[in-house]
Structure 1
Amino acid sequence: MASEAKIDRTVVAAAELFMRHGFARTTMGDIARAADMSRPALYLLFPGKEEVFEAAVVHLNRLRLAEIHERLGDAATLGDRLFTACDLWLVQVFDLQRTTPDARDMDDLSIPVVRRVYAELEALIARLIAGSAAEMPPADSAELARGLVFSVRGLGAVAADVDDLRAMTRRQVDLLCRAIGRGG
């Protein structure tokens, strides 16, 4: 059985490669070299590049969500908490895509693991909304979270730069907070 340390080392190395070169341009040989192992050893850990990619996306999402949870303690209002989550997740992805265009694979919604990590972000935002608006049914919180996540993601298509997207995200969060009567 493969050691957890080898798997972790491989996933971290693969994540860096996928973010730099994208899925198509990253090979199993590249991943093996970056993880300091042979290709056959890599294939003992993962049957193919798709499985390594999935593990890398899950790993990066886990890091991003941990950072969000760590920073939520500093956020006093619902608006601040929602902005923190959107900024650390969606704005970071936007920034990565602008600085490293090949990393767009990491945000391709046609890939099942990417849809799953978006669902995790939606669930986190829904919990934040529901926790601040106890009278709101959970379904409404989930719908509002989905709307916020994908409106901010869509704003990336017209944002001039990261600061512009950050400002538009703040406005979107403020609008949502006002709509549910929770201020900004």
Structure 2
Amino acid sequence: MATAAKIDRAVVAAADLFIRHGFARTTMGDIARAADMSRPALYLLFPGKEEVFEAVVLHLNHIRMADIEDHLSDATTLADRIFTACNLWLVQVFELQTTTPDARDMDDLSIPVVRRVYGELEARIARLIAEAAPAGLPASAADLARGLVFSVRGLGAAAQDVETFRTMTRLQVDILCRAIDPAS
């Protein structure tokens, strides 16, 4: 089997384990068994669990970002486009953490790869803002996107359930879009 296929198999298996059991309780042996390979074979692909975790976070982010791109054409307004991105990324992360508490490791901002994928979401939302916003934004598109992403992320501390979180997310997006373009 080609190395790329083995890596994909290990990453998919590890994603399930990290989500269900968290980083600390998942071992390289667990990942190897779930991927139907030996530990030495897994170590040939990844030097350690941290590198597997990084590959998993990037893999899951790739899926989320592709899903966003697939759904953006369905949204017509700037608010709908930004909400689509937030719903398919931030709300999904909140829902995953609600249903599988050990998945919180996948959203730990002390981990560089997690900060990196948040940066990718910010950049995508900044491009949406820059493409659609009138001249004279109250701040740079990047700053507006970062503020939105982290204000929405923070709403998770107050939300009791996914629908409340989704509603609060929509409100944040609408407030931002009104600040960008009061006529919207």
Which TM-score band applies after superposition, normalised by the shorter structure?
Answer: over 0.9
**Cα RMSD (Å) of the superposition?**
1.5
Q: What is the CA deviation profile of residues 39-90 of structure 1, one whole-angstrom value per residue up to 9, with x for unaligned ones? A: 0100000000000000000000000000000000100100001101001100
Contact 2:78 2:177 in 1 (8 A): yes
What is the TM-score with the length of structure 2 in the denominator?
0.96
Q: Which residue of 1 aligns with 2:68?
A: 68
| Whole-angstrom CA distance in 2 between matches of 1:183 and 1:43 | 56
Q: How many residues align?
A: 183
| Whole-angstrom CA distance in 2 between matches of 1:27 and 1:125 | 35
Gapped regions of structure 2 (runs ≥ 5): none
Structure 1 position 35 matched with structure 2 position 35: yes
Give the secondary structure class of the aligned counterpart of 2:131: helix
CA drift of 1:160 comes to 1.2
Identify if the C-alpha distance between structure 1 residues 52 and 100 changes in structure 2 by more than 3 Å, giving closer, same or farther: same
| Whole-angstrom CA distance in 1 between matches of 2:12 and 2:52 | 10
Q: Which residue of 2 aligns with 1:53?
A: 53
| Whole-angstrom CA distance in 1 between matches of 2:82 and 2:183 | 12
Structure 1 position 115 matched with structure 2 position 115: yes
Displacement over 4 Å in runs of 4+:
none
Identity rate of aligned residues, in percent? 76
| Whole-angstrom CA distance in 1 between matches of 2:183 and 2:161 | 27
Gapped regions of structure 1 (runs ≥ 5): none
Pairing of 1:1-184 with structure 2 (within 5 A): 3-136=3-136, 140-181=140-181
| Whole-angstrom CA distance in 2 between matches of 1:180 and 1:37 | 52
Contact 2:32 2:42 in 1 (8 A): yes
CA drift of 1:183 comes to 5.2
Contact 1:133 1:182 in 2 (8 A): no
